[in-house]
Amino acid sequence: MPPKVTYRRDSDRPEFPKVLIPVIVLVVIAVPLTFRVFRTVPAGNVAVATLFGGVQPETYGEGLHVVNPLYDWHLYDARQKTHMETADVPSQDQLATSVDVSVQWRINRDRANVIKQDTGSVEDMKTVHLVPKVRSLLREQGKSITRAEDFFREETQQRLQTNLTVGLKEYLEPEGIVVDAVLIRDIRLPASLRQQIEAKKASEQQAEREKAELERKRTQAQQLVVEAEARRTAAEEEAEQRRVLADAQAYEIQKINEALANSPGYLQLQAMKALEQIAKDPAAKLYFMNGDSPMPLPLMNMGEPLRAASPPTSEPPATARR
């Protein structure tokens, strides 16, 4: 047997209290608005509020803020940024030099509402104001540089950095951009000029090598001269020593001759000493004696005075063996 189906009439359903409808609507609207009353700005940012498209004059820094829930909230990154720019800068010699420049910049927190109203976002500030001004100033600075190679001079780079910094600050600070520094990263000369400079550098290096070689040879020649002078001085000193020695020997001989001339007996005494030494020699020798001498000595003439004092004799010279 199928189950019995009971149909309920609409009049039997409980009616929803109409009084709660406004309360529910109010809660649905109030809850989102409550969350929009409390707004937080992250670190390094600044907030700008708009109401129905109108920019509010007040800016909001980091932290928690209680604001009109109808405000639209716009965050701006106020931290420092770096923009790299490369531009071909023509100098007065009509040569274009490639210059890499970095600009360190940030937005002015106090003028974030003006930036929002006049320009837009941070990226819009960079595109509309920063980049065109950097390129323009770079090309203007090239007009004051006579030659392309002057870009490598320290005073030229210093002047270029200073002029870029001053020019960017004067133009960008009223727009709400603070320029902290401008740095020249790299400079690349035109290809033709680089080839000329490389050839010139190679020529200078070759000249330096030749100069060093000439200096080495000159030093070597000076050393040879010094060595020759030293040898000459040594030879002169040696000759002087020999001359002094010869003079001393000549003087000694002269004195001996004078002594012999003045003392004939001195020679006889020396002869006797020599004969005594000969007698002590164990080797067998043959000595020839002068028989005419009063004191026969081997191979020695004792002088005319002794020979004159001896009586003449007809006997032959005696021969002694030992």
User: Could you tell me the fold of the domain covering 81-189?
Assistant: Tetrahydropterin Synthase; Chain A (3.30.479)
Residue 178 has pLDDT above 90, yes or no: yes
Q: Residue 103 pairs with which residues in a beta bridge?
A: 83, 182
In terms of pLDDT, which residue wins out, 270 or 14?
270
Residue 87 has pLDDT above 70, yes or no: yes
Amino acid residing at 11: S
pLDDT above 90 covers a percentage of the chain that reads: 28
Across residues 54-65, what is the average pLDDT? 90
Going through 252-321 in order, the beta strands assigned E by DSSP cover 286-288, 319-321
3-state SS assignment for residue 101: strand
**What gap in Å lies between CA 145 and CA 155, rounded to an integer?**
11
Mean pLDDT of the chain: 79
In terms of pLDDT, which residue wins out, 278 or 289?
278
Taken in order 170, 171, 173, 174, is the CA torsion positive or negative?
A: positive
Taken in order 110, 113, 118, 119, is the CA torsion positive or negative?
A: positive
DSSP 204: H
Q: How would residue 254 be classed by pLDDT, with cut points 50, 70 and 90?
A: confident
8 Å CB contact between 179 and 108: no
Residue 237 has pLDDT above 80, yes or no: yes
Across residues 99-111, what is the average pLDDT? 93
Q: pTM of the predicted model, to two decimals?
A: 0.53
Query: Any idea where the domains of the chain sit in the sequence?
Result: 17-77, 81-189, 276-321
